Amino acid sequence: MAAATHLMYNPPAIMDSIPDQSSVLSMPEIRSAQLLEAPEIASTFTLVTGEAGLERTLNHPRVQKSGLVFAGHLHGIVPTRVQVIGETESSFLATLSPEARLAGLRGLVSLEPSLLVLTRGIEPFDDLVAVCEESGTPLATTKERSSQAINRLHSALDWLLAPRRTIHGVLLDVHGVGLLLIGPSAVGKSECALFLLERGHRLVADDRVELVRLPGDVIEGSSPALLRNHLELRGIGIVNVRDLFGAAAVRERKNVNLVIELCQFDELENYDRLGLEDRSVELLGASIPSLRIPIRPGRNMAVILEVAARNHLLKIQGRHAAQRFVKRLEEELMGESVGGDGEAEAIGLPTSESHAPAGALSLEEGKGERGDVGGKDFGEGEG
Long-range contacts at 338-345 (CB < 8 A, ≥ 24 apart): 345/376
Is the distance from CB of 207 to CB of 279 less than 8 angstroms?
no
Quote the pLDDT of residue 263: 92
Q: Is residue 382 part of a domain?
A: no
Q: Any idea what the CATH number is for the domain that residue 275 is in?
A: 3.40.50.300
- Give how many domains the chain has, as a whole number: 2
Same domain, 196 and 304: yes
Q: Is residue 113 part of a domain?
A: yes
Kindly provide the b/e burial profile for residues 45-71, where b requires at least 16 CB atoms within 10 angstroms of the residue's own CB: bebbbbeebbebebeebebbbbbebbe
pLDDT at 367 over 70: no
pLDDT at 347 over 60: no
pLDDT averaged over the chain? 83
pLDDT at 128 over 60: yes
Is the distance from CB of 296 to CB of 188 less than 8 angstroms?
no
Quote the pLDDT of residue 103: 93
Task: Place 324 in a pLDDT band, splitting at 50, 70 and 90.
Answer: confident
Is the distance from CB of 87 to CB of 120 less than 8 angstroms?
yes
Which residues on neighbouring strands pair with residue 246, listed in sequence order? none
Quote the pLDDT of residue 165: 94
Least confident of 185-199, 255-269, 310-324, 368-382: 368-382
Domain range for 278 is 167-316
Quote the pLDDT of residue 332: 87
Q: Is residue 331 part of a domain?
A: no
pLDDT at 268 over 90: no
Quote the pLDDT of residue 27: 54
Looking at the whole model, is its pTM more than 0.85? no
Task: Place 276 in a pLDDT band, splitting at 50, 70 and 90.
Answer: confident
Domain stops at, among 109, 128, 160: 160
Could you tell me which residue, 177 or 25, shows the higher pLDDT?
177
Same domain, 249 and 268: yes
Helix (H), strand (E), coil (C) string for 116-169: EEECCCCCCCHHHHHHHHHHCCCEEEECCCHHHHHHHHHHHHHHHCCCEEEEEE
Is the distance from CB of 199 to CB of 306 less than 8 angstroms?
yes
Residue 165, φ and ψ in degrees, nearest 5: -160, 160
Domain stops at, among 257, 289, 316: 316
Residue pLDDT, tens place only, 132-156: 999 999 999 999 999 999 999 999 9
DSSP 8-state code for residue 337? -
Same domain, 173 and 242: yes
Same domain, 246 and 180: yes
Residues designated as active site? 168, 189, 207, 273
Q: Determine the Cα–Cα distance for residues 278 and 318; give it in Å rounded to an integer.
A: 13
Kindly provide the b/e burial profile for residues 340-374, where b requires at least 16 CB atoms within 10 angstroms of the residue's own CB: eeeebbeeebebeebeeeeeeeeeeeeeeeeeeeb
Amino acid type, 4: A
Q: Is residue 277 part of a domain?
A: yes
pLDDT at 360 over 80: no
Range list of H helices, the chain: 32-37, 39-42, 87-95, 98-109, 126-135, 146-160, 189-198, 241-245, 301-316, 321-334, 340-346
pLDDT at 6 over 50: no
Residue pLDDT, tens place only, 96-119: 999 999 999 999 999 999 999 999
Is the distance from CB of 184 to CB of 196 less than 8 angstroms?
no
Tell me, rounded to whole angstroms, the distance of Cα 355 from its chain centroid.
49
Is the distance from CB of 281 to CB of 181 less than 8 angstroms?
no
Q: Could you give the C-alpha distances from 41 to 78, 79, 212, in angstroms and in order?
A: 21, 20, 20
Q: How many CB atoms lie within 10 A of CB 228?
A: 17
Same domain, 155 and 171: no
High-pLDDT (> 90) share of the chain, %: 65
Q: Any idea what the CATH number is for the domain that residue 92 is in?
A: 3.40.1390.20
Domain stops at, among 110, 140, 160: 160
High-pLDDT (> 70) share of the chain, %: 80
- In sequence order, what are the residues at sequence separation of 6 or more whose Cβ sits closer than 8 angstroms to the Cβ of residue 320? 314
Query: Where on the phi/psi map is residue 235: left (φ > 0), alpha (ψ -120 to 50), or beta?
Result: left
Same domain, 272 and 172: yes
